[in-house]
Structure 1
Amino acid sequence: MPRLTSQTLSPAHQRLAVLSLALGSFASVTTEFLPVGILPDISKTFAVTSGTAGLTMTVPGIMAALSAPGVMLFSGRTDRRKIVLWLSLILLAGCLVATIAPTFAIMLLSRALVGISLGAFWAMGLAVAVELVAKEKAHKAAAAVFGGVTAAMILGVPMGSLVAEHSSWRGAFMAAAVIAVAAFVMQWKVLPSVPAQSPVQFADFKAFVSLPEARKSIVMVAAVFAAHFAAYTYLTPLMHEAGIPTAAVTLLLLAYGAIGFVSNLVAARFLENNLKATLFVSKISLAIPFLFLPILVIFSKFETVLILLWAVAWGALPLCLNTWHRNIETEHSEAAAAMFTFTAQVAIAVGSSLGGAVVDHFGLKTNFWMSALIVLLSAFYLARHRKME
């Protein structure tokens, strides 16, 4: 594949190349969240406790947090296209190993492979996507990649449950493998060569983090992702407490994913001229459901409306935060992309763990109110600190 740039790629080729990365992000994040819907089946197959089976979520999160900066540090000047293709193959290997894993240890190995691919693909995929298009369209390219992430965060769980219901939990991983194959083939066909700007070194991360605007961005990313996943992990129990039937819960999660996906696309149209306002409104829109869901738990219709508002807010927030992060003036753009992924993955792990501890000791309501407080403080932080243009 010859070296091409955003100036020499046709608009159609640009869209297809970005779409291949969006499909890759959908495949990797779908596989990350797959165990949530099939955890009891995994636990039964390997004769481990539910808590131990939960390592199938913890391991990929840890590996993703490590691989995001790691891929940038060790990739040197390697063509980014080659790296993306290898990451897609690693994801495929992780899915296939899960379908035949004879022991729980091998199952965790498969999840480690998924985590390595996931974190590195998030960092590398976003960095590559914005290189494929003109600068003024970079936020739309990032939106496309995050569109895949947003859909996968929601669709991964019901998809796993649906496939497992008609086959087995291993069948769910086979379905994920099919998606991974589709992503790899599309990337191999349409992704052009993307030369590295310069080798990324540890000093680049240090230099980026030393920037005041970078630290502000990292704080906001960590706060929003941690708060969201502290609450989202326990959304299903809250819906059951609200009296929403099990069948309706699956439909509501699917609606959540669809609305979040649309919100992601709509938000992309407002970011160029209204980034700070869009980010602030999205944060407040996320805090409202966290505040009122526990209070209105006896009114299932109100709960449904608040959950859908949550979907609107979360559909926009990852893109808004990434655009804010990417707009920081720095010579270390790839290190910046890796730090975004690292921060998000650590925040997901910390938020989920923190939410579990709060639920165990203080209950569901306190967990949601804690999440609301974190998001509101983040919104206040955004309002008080003016981003340097």
Structure 2
Amino acid sequence: MKKKIIPLILVMAFITTLVFSPNIINAKTTKQQLNEVEDELDTKKDSLEDKENTASDLENQIESYDTKISNLTEKINEQEKNKEEIEKELEKSQKELREAKEKRKKYQDLLSERMEVMYMYGDTGYLDLIFSSKSFSDLISKVSTVKSLVSYDQSIVKELQEVENEINTKTEKIAKNKEELEKVIADLTENKESLDTLRVAKNAELTNVNGDIDDLNAEIAKLEKKKSELDNKIAAQSGSSSNNNYNSGTGKGALGWPTPGNYYITSYFGYRDQPTAGASTNHGAVDIGVSTGTPVLSPGNGVVTYSGWNGGYGYAVSIDCGNIGGDHITVLLAHNSSLAVSTGQKVSRGQVVAYSGSTGISTGPHLHFAVYCNGYAVDPLNYVDI
């Protein structure tokens, strides 16, 4: 019976050890939370990139519509001016036509009157003309004069009719040109209105996308803050666990100081009073006080795993330094004013990778220098050769 009780006691003791080892369990749970936050952060950043690309495409489309609308407006204005000129020309031609008709009617009336007189008097008129003649030559002259007057009237009326016909043809042509021009203007206006409608729709779509971008930026900022809190929490757990073997001095001197000649530390690794809203009280790095634009050097050989804007860290560079002393070491250099390397680039110890600044959540120019050992934030002062 005692033999059975002893193994049972050992099992219970082992379970109790697991239950009452919060550092181990909590550290694992926090790491899992961190992984989930990082995965969600990557997803949000991918979505943000997609939305930004969509916004860029929409802006290009709207710009294209603006250009086309501007060109159509120019053409419409030009055709409107042409229409004004044609209307003036048409008005002038119509006036000429009215005058030609009036003139032709006047001569037509005179001719009709003369023909009517000749018809009424017939041969008697000619006899009167003959008997009133003083001589044969005078008679010939008078007969010839009458015939010439009638012929002249007829030719004048004919010429006036031809002029009237020409003016009428010209007027009809001008009116037709005006009609065609009005159709061109109507088509151009319709195209412009269609583009205006499309532009309004694209602007509305862009407004929605920009709203999504704002929402994603806000979500990313929250996730960045949560990530920072989890990093610091893991660092605190790591500081009291056996994961931080370097506290005993192992691996000292494995990394170089990122700002040679500048060793003023404004905030040490570990717990601290919150320096500004959004900053962590459990500081998983050391802050080096340097002026903006100071060259920031890579503490070791490695590969840049991230170079860009990183939420509260501002412009940051992450470098995977590989295995050092049997542990996987990565570093983070944050709050820079500008970056000198890109993601995926290989760097050497002492190479300029950034220039210090005060971007992100920061109270002033400084360099946030963080070291991670096997994924846990540790005190950088235990790794550098100063």
TM range (shorter): under 0.3
Rg comparison, structure with higher value? 2
Larger strand percent: 2
Q: TM-score, normalised by structure 1?
A: 0.22
Q: TM-score, normalised by structure 2?
A: 0.22
